[in-house]
């Protein structure tokens, strides 16, 4: 499968390594695709990798991953070009975190909208699935949690796209998914992330996740 990663930070690089290690053809996008940092990432990644502009990467991917800062989403989608994403699964990993008031973040969108919904409106012909935004980049691939791996909560409007993402999660080592419904569910997945940050600050580590348990 050809995978396009829109964003070259820690999240994009982690997911890119994960896809490449499973035999997928990965292209990662950056404003500076020939940078030393991405050259190092290519050297370390196991598998077929390349770098490119946002438009080149969006054209390349059969499945796309949006892994930028929340504040950069609109610009990245513009650079990638909505026509290049039409008909494709677009995994949205972004969060609308706002650190303007101090180290504990708030959200710059909500509670009646979300980045996931904005992405879907901006790229209406793509099949957006919110996923991976509630865990650390260190746990996105081959997760290892002391209490057992949780199911990943996802949402999106297209059932077939969510099935594709569920397959990717299985490939990456997750036990399954909890599908919370349409893309409007991104409001609540994104809203859990400031709480995730507060918990991490208290326990002094960033490899934790929330798990649904029941009697």
- Rounded Cα distance between 58 and 4, Å, is 6
Residue 154 maps to a domain: yes
Report the pLDDT value the prediction gives residue 103, as an integer from 0 to 100: 84
> Which residue range forms the structural domain that includes residue 130?
2-203
* Nearest in space to 16 (alpha carbons), one of 140, 109, 115: 140
Contact assessment for residue 97 and residue 105, using Cβ atoms and an 8 Å cutoff:
yes
Span of 41-45, 49-53, 122-126, 131-135 with lowest mean pLDDT: 41-45
Smallest CA-to-CA distance from 123 within 64, 189, 181 is with 64
Per-residue confidence (pLDDT) for residue 144, from 0 to 100: 97
Cα–Cα distance between 150 and 197 in angstroms, integer? 18
Handedness of CA 63, 60, 136, 196 (dihedral sign): negative
Angle at 49 between CA 47 and CA 53, to 5 degrees: 165
Assigned domain for 62 exists: yes
Q: Which residues contact 33 (CB under 8 A, 6 or more apart)?
A: 8, 51, 52, 53
Number of folded domains in the chain? 1
Give domain status of residue 213, yes or no.
no
Is 137 within a domain? yes
CB neighbours of 167 closer than 8 A, spacing ≥ 6? none
Rg, Å, the chain Cα set: 16
**In whole angstroms, what is the distance from residue 173 CA to residue 193 CA?**
22
CATH of residue 115's domain is: 3.40.50.720
What is the tens place of the pLDDT at every residue in 111-148?
A: 999 999 999 999 999 999 999 999 999 999 999 999 89
How many DSSP H helices and E strands does the chain contain? 7, 10
CB-neighbour burial class of residue 213 (10 A; exposed 0-12, middle 13-18, buried 19+): exposed
The pLDDT of 185-195, averaged and rounded, is 97
In-domain check, residue 214? no
Q: Is residue 175 included in any domain, yes or no? A: yes
Residue 151 lies in a domain: yes
Residue 28: inside a domain? yes
Residue 102 reports pLDDT greater than 90: no
């Amino acid at each position: 499968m050809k995978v396009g990663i829109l964003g070259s930070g820690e999240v994009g690089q982690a997911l890119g390594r994960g896809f490449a290690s499973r035999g997928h053809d990965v292209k990662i996008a950056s404003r500076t695709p020939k940078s030393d940092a991405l050259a190092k990432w290519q050297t370390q990644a196991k598998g077929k990798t390349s770098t490119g502009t946002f438009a080149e990467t969006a054209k390349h991917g059969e499945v796309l991953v949006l892994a930028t800062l929340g504040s950069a989403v609109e610009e990245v989608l513009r650079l990638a070009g909505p026509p290049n994403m039409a008909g494709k699964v677009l995994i949205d990993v972004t969060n609308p975190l706002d650190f303007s008031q101090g180290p504990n973040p708030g959200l710059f969108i909500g509670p009646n909208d979300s980045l996931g919904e904005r992405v879907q409106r901006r790229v209406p012909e793509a099949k957006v699935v919110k996923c991976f935004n509630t865990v650390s980049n260190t746990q996105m691939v081959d997760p290892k949690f002391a209490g057992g791996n949780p199911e990943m909560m996802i949402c999106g409007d297209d059932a077939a796209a969510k099935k594709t993402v569920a397959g990717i999660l299985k490939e990456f080592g997750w036990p399954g998914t909890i599908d919370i419904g349409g893309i409007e569910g991104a409001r609540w997945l994104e809203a859990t992330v400031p709480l995730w940050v507060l918990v991490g600050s208290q326990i002094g580590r960033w490899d934790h996740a929330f798990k649904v348990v029941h009697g």
